Amino acid sequence: MALRYRLRVRTTLLIPLLVLSFGCTLVSLLVIRTLVQRQGQASLASDLRHSVMTYQNLERQRRQMLLNESALLADLPSLKALMTTHDTRTIEDGGAEFWAISGSDLFALLDQNGELIAFYNHGSTLNRHAVEQALKAFLQRSEDVSILTVDGRLYEIALAPLVFGEKSTGTRLGLVAAGYAIDEQVAREVSQAAAAEVAFTTGQHVVASTLKPDLQQQFVSQTNSVLHADAEGVKIRLGDEDYLAAALCLQPSQTTGDALEAPQLIVLKSFSQATELIRQVNRWILALGLLALLVGTGMFVSVSRTITQPLEDLVGGTRALAQGNFDYKLSENGASEIQELSRAFDRMRVQLESTQKDLIDSERLATIGRMASSISHDLRHYLSAMYANAEFMSAGSLSQ
């Protein structure tokens, strides 16, 4: 409290002014920054959901296309005729022609019991046992189209029955399976449509991805956190960049225990745009903070000129008056109240100067009176003696 009364008026006004100016500006800008961050993250989560929905729409179109293609293959009379031979070598030799017609990455022919007769694929030859196990699992799910993990690769495959005669009453000859590999090309197409980085995984293995090779290893180490995240996604860091990642199980019919090993699509939205927006907000905060400093300085100068400086002049006049200097005049600058105070002080100074002059004159007259009285007293003493002697000398009774 004692310090408060020892501070100068200028300092007392400056501190609350600066605190109020910077405090309000800083709080407002921090609130804006927080809102921008939340809005950016919410927008990113919305974009992530939109990207997943985009893939689902593409997936529906691909599934319908596969169903149509497999149905057309199953209706080919020549393929039905080939399956009626029931000879494995004949079917294996003749099936290559239909594989070429289908243009698929994986083509398989199964007998009426679901046993694999022949299969064909692009790239390195798949393990026959792996193909059999994948197709048997497919048949157990009673689905027309499914995404299968075959020998470490992902394929989207459609099954269609080969029926001699009417589909409902004809003789079932077997099954035809045709599908496309989910590879880097598919990942790039999905990435372009979803406007995000994507990765197709099975367990801890990345099958296809648009991520750079040096980031894939970092991504594999964080897949568990992504797979356990909710629909809003989880924030992960790859390299020097942050991503919001969400996973979509490509085999929804999987049980909870097998879900983590099921094929997954992981969509990653970069925080780069949101980060750039935050950087812009930070730059605005800095610029507005400097502007607030300049405005506060201007307000301080204005207050100093209109209030504190005239008050300091008034203090100086008071000190000069206390020292007996009646010639110190105050300027009439500043606010109207300060000007009125300065004029009142000048009137008081003039009155005090006049009163002092009157007192000096009165003191001078009193001194002169005291001097005249003293002189008169001394003169009366000597005059009395002279008068007495004169009377004595003039007396008639004195002897000659």
Q: DSSP for 54-122?
A: HHHHHHHHHHHHHHHHHHHHHT-HHHHHHHTT--HHHHHHHHHHHHHHHT-SEEEEE-TTS-EEEEEES
What are the C-alpha distances in Å from 49 to residues 55, 234, 245, 332, 389? 10, 12, 10, 70, 140
CA distance 124 to 131: 13
The DSSP H or E segment spanning 287 is helix 272-303
- Above 50 in pLDDT, residue 6? no
- Per-residue confidence band for 270, with pLDDT thresholds at 50, 70 and 90: confident
Q: What is the pLDDT of residue 280?
A: 74
- Spans of all domains in the chain: 25-275
Is residue 4 scored above 60 in pLDDT? no
- pLDDT of residue 97 exceeding 60, the answer is yes
The predicted structure's pLDDT at residue 308: 65
Say if pTM beats, i.e. exceeds, 0.85: no
| Mean pLDDT value across the chain | 78
Q: 273-298, pLDDT tens digit by residue?
A: 666 666 777 777 777 777 777 777 77
User: 2: pLDDT confidence band, cut at 50, 70 and 90?
Assistant: very low
Q: What is the pLDDT of residue 395?
A: 65
Q: What's 396's DSSP letter?
A: T
pLDDT at 131: 92
Q: Which of 75-79, 192-196, 340-344 has the highest mean pLDDT?
A: 75-79
| Confidence tier at 252 by pLDDT (50, 70, 90) | low
Give mean pLDDT, residues 260-279. Answer: 75
> pLDDT value at position 120?
94
Residue 5: pLDDT over 50: no
pLDDT digits (tens, 9 = 90+) for 383-392: 777 767 777 7
Inform me whether the pLDDT recorded for 79 exceeds 50. Answer: yes
Structure-model confidence comparison of residues 177 and 311, the more confident one? 177
Q: What is the 3-state secondary structure (H, E, C) of 167-225?
A: CCCCEEEEEEEEEEECCHHHHHHHHHHHCCEEEEEECCEEEEECCCHHHHHHHHCCHHH
Mean pLDDT, range 310-335, rounded to an integer = 68
Distance (Å) of CA 155 to CA 121, 147, 250: 11, 6, 11
Q: List the single range of 25-29, 76-80, 304-308, 340-344 with lowest mean pLDDT.
A: 304-308
Least confidently predicted of 15-24, 101-110, 125-134, 236-245 = 15-24
- CATH code of 25-275, in short, is 3.30.450.220
Tokens of 202: 């099975």
* Least confident window among 156-170, 174-188, 354-368: 354-368
Higher pLDDT, 276 or 92: 92
Q: Is a pLDDT exceeding 80 seen at residue 66?
A: yes
Confidence of residue 348 (pLDDT cuts 50, 70, 90): confident
Q: Which residues are 303's β-sheet partners?
A: none
Q: Strand 153-164 relative to strand 263-270: parallel, antiparallel, unpaired? A: unpaired
In the block, tokens 């075959």 appear at: 150
pLDDT digits (tens, 9 = 90+) for 103-160: 899 999 999 888 999 999 998 899 999 999 989 888 888 788 888 888 888 999 999 9
